[in-house]
Structure 1
Amino acid sequence: MSTAQKVSATGTDELPSENYKMIDALGHRLRVYDEGPADAPTVVMLHGAPHNSSEFRFNVPALVGAGYRVVIPEHLGAGGSDRPEDVELYWAPRDYDRALAVVDALGIDKFYVEGGDRGSIPLWMFAALNPDRVLGLISENVSHLNGFFVNPAIDQRRRSWYMSYFQFEAAEEALREDDWALAREFFDWHPDMDLILADWERPNGLKASWLNWYRATMNPDTSKKMDPLPSATVPVLLFYSMTDPYIGPEQLFVGREFIEGPLTIKRIGGAGHFIARNAPEVFNREVLNWLGDRESERRGN
């Protein structure tokens, strides 16, 4: 059953189970969604936190229907991937290492990458470190990482308050209280809260799919520092919504200094932080137009 058939039949609750496979990535098993012809142009999609591959269930049918192959690795701790307890395994650059291992295991040489939120770090690392393999980058709200992690503006520090709060064990108890009332309010832009809570309520689910990433990546006392990345020279499609409560617009301007390839910015009103999920029709249309242009350029048309 294709994704389009599954979406029509089930009301878009999930992607077709037959398109998932387990892939070893540096000693841990990741569940990976893979649909589309093996020889088709490939789009590797990197989901955010706290979610899994189902975040893209409204986007996959459009991409596959247009002739693309879609590969979605579920990050460590998310969805059907392994959920180890060692916090250090969730350091953000390791998401990139594991995603690269998945791409290599599938024998994919050149590809497009798309992502947001937790997926933003491996997204920009792919483009900055593999310009010979990445055909283009599609980002939701987050510009080049040097514009976020290198001396962020005070407005962004205010928006990122929760990254410090989640370092404390008391945060887990607070999130669970009153049927996850704080969590539901915090994610007021996310329509998939019930799916997210189902992930959290599994053993080690909340820590593995969400809190451990912050504790490994953003702890001011113990986290490793991320090195600045080279500039991105690949074509970039950057979506931004002014209603994103977590990511401020300043990083768009700072990050622009590190984008040397062709840059297209699309503002989508009212889409919040999770643009592909919240505004799939506009997102899909713009992505397919942009990918079509890139493919025409590649073929010399």
Structure 2
Amino acid sequence: MPGITHRVLETNGIHLHVAEAGEGPLVLLLHGWPESWYSWRHQIPALAAAGFHVVAPDVRGYGGSSAPPEVEAYRMKELVADFVGLLNALGERTAVVIGHDWGAAMAWTCAALHPDRFRAVVGLSVPHLGRSPQPPIALFNTLFKDRWFYVLYFQEPGVAEAELEADIPRTIRTIFAGTPGFDVTAEAVRSRKPGDGFLTGVEPPARLPAWLTEEDLAFFSKEFAHSGFRGGLNRYRNMDRDWHELPELATVKIEQPALFVVGEKDPGRAFAPVDLMKPLVPHLQEMLVIPGAGHWIQQERPDEVNAALLRFLKSLPA
């Protein structure tokens, strides 16, 4: 894309491919599942034009970045170390960290554990909920009992990979433009039984939403044809490990300036109670709900998201 450069940097013993643009204070953009740096294609030029050095890595396991084979290589401690090391590789002391989906969880955790390195934080779609009262997988088993739930389906290595990689273009089209398996409010998802897959009962739509092009889908499909889905899925397989390794998340407060943005129709709102984050993020400046927007918020509604990000960034101390 014009104005965006690419390079590979070494951090925390691995290599991260990054897309970057602009000069000025560093802004780090962290994508979610199943995405890539390309999810920020509308934000990178806008933030760069406003006077920021914008860096969007492919998270480990994705795109052009290293993809270690071990499940535990994707625990939150390793991911946070990647991003602290990325600041070092860039020669920067601090950054504003912005994340979407799993990238939001990473951003919140970066801010919680390293307030000296991450001077402000923005979460898109996923709020900061601290630490659950019990390990997440046990909690999900209690909540969903015999009902199908995508996080539980993702736990067995190799199962979801085989399904999602069987026809990558179809998978990507269904997840981004159709009914994704994480939409627990959708009838096709609610009617699933144990043993069903992430794509069971749903079909890729013939027509794309206005915010998504065939070229966009082709880019994502090419990235996952290269990397596969295992790295991203391994993030879900570390939820209990994170719970045990990061007990401080139960009480630590994020004292930096913060912003939360979510789509009104994001299916994650059904099981991520936003109000729980308020005592953990006392300097949350705004909780913005964008009417009509879904989960892929920065791609669906780039103008509104960019305006909110720039309003927040320009409010920060120089």
Q: Same fold (TM over 0.5)?
A: yes
Match of 2:38 in 1: 54
Please state how far the C-alpha of 1:116 moved relative to its aligned partner: 1.3
Q: Out of 113, 122, 143, which is 1:138 matched to?
A: 122
Identical counterparts, % of pairs: 29
CA contact (8 A) 1:150 1:228 kept: no
Distance 1:67 1:180, change over 3 A: closer
Q: Distance in 2 between matches of 1:45 and 1:178?
A: 29
Please state how far the C-alpha of 1:224 moved relative to its aligned partner: 5.9
> Which structure 2 segments of 5+ residues have no match?
179-210
Match of 1:9 in 2: none
List aligned pairs for 1:57-96, cutoff 5 A: 57-96=41-80
Please state how far the C-alpha of 1:177 moved relative to its aligned partner: 4.7
Match of 1:25 in 2: 11
Match of 1:286 in 2: 308
CA contact (8 A) 1:245 1:272 kept: yes
Match of 1:239 in 2: 261
Q: Distance in 2 between matches of 1:241 and 1:170?
A: 30
Distance 1:170 1:180, change over 3 A: farther
> Which structure 1 segments of 5+ residues have no match?
7-14
CA contact (8 A) 2:165 2:228 kept: no
Q: Out of 228, 231, 242, which is 1:205 matched to?
A: 228
Q: Out of 281, 284, 296, which is 1:274 matched to?
A: 296
Distance 1:114 1:178, change over 3 A: closer
Distance 1:162 1:212, change over 3 A: same
CA contact (8 A) 1:143 1:256 kept: no
Q: Distance in 2 between matches of 1:182 and 1:293?
A: 40
CA contact (8 A) 1:160 1:246 kept: no
Match of 2:106 in 1: 122
SS in 1 for 2:268: coil
Task: Name the stretch that deviates more: 87-96 or 58-67.
Answer: 87-96
Please state how far the C-alpha of 1:178 moved relative to its aligned partner: 6.0
Match of 1:10 in 2: none
TM-score computed with the length of structure 2 as normaliser: 0.76
Match of 1:11 in 2: none
CA contact (8 A) 1:34 1:71 kept: yes
SS in 2 for 1:123: helix
Q: Distance in 2 between matches of 1:160 and 1:238?
A: 29
Q: How many residues are aligned here?
A: 274
SS in 1 for 2:123: strand
Task: Name the stretch that deviates more: 91-100 or 165-174.
Answer: 165-174
Please state how far the C-alpha of 1:35 moved relative to its aligned partner: 2.0
Distance 1:111 1:173, change over 3 A: closer
Please state how far the C-alpha of 1:107 moved relative to its aligned partner: 1.7
Match of 1:164 in 2: 152
Per-residue Cα deviation, 1:29-74 (whole angstroms, up to 9, x for no partner): 111223222xx12211111121111111111111111111101222
The RMSD of aligned alpha carbons is 2.9
Please state how far the C-alpha of 1:181 moved relative to its aligned partner: 4.5
Per-residue Cα deviation, 1:257-281 (whole angstroms, up to 9, x for no partner): 2112242111112221221121101
CA contact (8 A) 1:46 1:116 kept: yes
Q: Which amino acid aligns with 2:288?
A: K
Distance 1:281 1:72, change over 3 A: same
TM-score computed with the length of structure 1 as normaliser: 0.80
CA contact (8 A) 2:263 2:289 kept: yes
CA contact (8 A) 1:142 1:251 kept: no
Match of 2:207 in 1: none
Q: Which amino acid aligns with 1:276?
A: Q
Distance 1:157 1:113, change over 3 A: farther
